[in-house]
Structure 1
Amino acid sequence: MSSTEPELSQEPPRGHVRVVYLGPVAPHWDLQSDFGDRALIEGFRVRMQARLQLVPPHDPQFRRNRERVIRDAERENLLLDWDLGLPED
């Protein structure tokens, strides 16, 4: 019998990253990490900056690029938080 649902990873996360919006002047984004392999985090930082460097959160391109960053974090098994500088509703 086959299952159509993808298997969820039961491994512990390999690291934690927080993407922080710095403001309207470029660079707009910073990456902070609480734990994880330094090389893994730096590789993720490079890819995150390539996707978001010139894209502020109000830009229409941000939504697509944010989804790409989220998928990248899932592939790397990283816990991902966002700090957009906006109050939580």
Structure 2
Amino acid sequence: MSDVEETHTEPPQAHVTVVYLGPVAPHWDLRSDFGDQRVVEEFRGRMHARLMLLPPHDPQFRRNRERVVRDAERENILLSWDPPELAESHLAQHR
């Protein structure tokens, strides 16, 4: 027996981009390149609940962004951010 975790190599269910719309609410939109529309719409609902009224400079944004990232990982969804700088603190933690 080993302590090595099995990695699942299933293809992603979808690819989505969280897009910052600007300083006036709603601040965020979700765009999908591919994937099951039901999965994307369910993810969109959760993403909107966490981010819709939070601009990137809001202290709560970082915590909620991490929740969105974990949600995407759990659902096997490829996640990107526009502009890409919004994901930088998450990437720095995983290096």
- Provide the TM-score with structure 2 as the length reference: 0.83
Aligned-partner SS, 2:22: coil
Q: 1:29 to 1:80 in 2, by over 3 A?
A: same
- Give the gaps of 5 or more residues in structure 1: none
Instruction: Report the Cα offset of residue 9 of structure 1.
Output: 1.9
Letter in 1 for 2:56: P
Map of 2:65 onto structure 1 = 66
Name the CA distance, whole Å, in 2 between partners of 1:28 and 1:65: 14
Name the CA distance, whole Å, in 2 between partners of 1:6 and 1:46: 31
After superposition, give the CA deviation of every residue in 1:14-34 in whole Å (9 maximum; x if it has no partner). Answer: 110000000010000000000
Instruction: Report the Cα offset of residue 2 of structure 1.
Output: 3.6
Question: 1 or 2 for the larger relative contact order (CA 8 Å, sep ≥6)?
Answer: 1
Asked if the contact 1:24–1:56 (Cα under 8 Å) also holds between the matched residues in 2, the reply is: yes
Q: Percent identity?
A: 71
Name the CA distance, whole Å, in 2 between partners of 1:7 and 1:61: 34
Question: Higher helix proportion, which one?
Answer: 2
Moved over 4 A (4+): none
- Give the gaps of 5 or more residues in structure 2: 86-95
Name the CA distance, whole Å, in 2 between partners of 1:22 and 1:15: 22
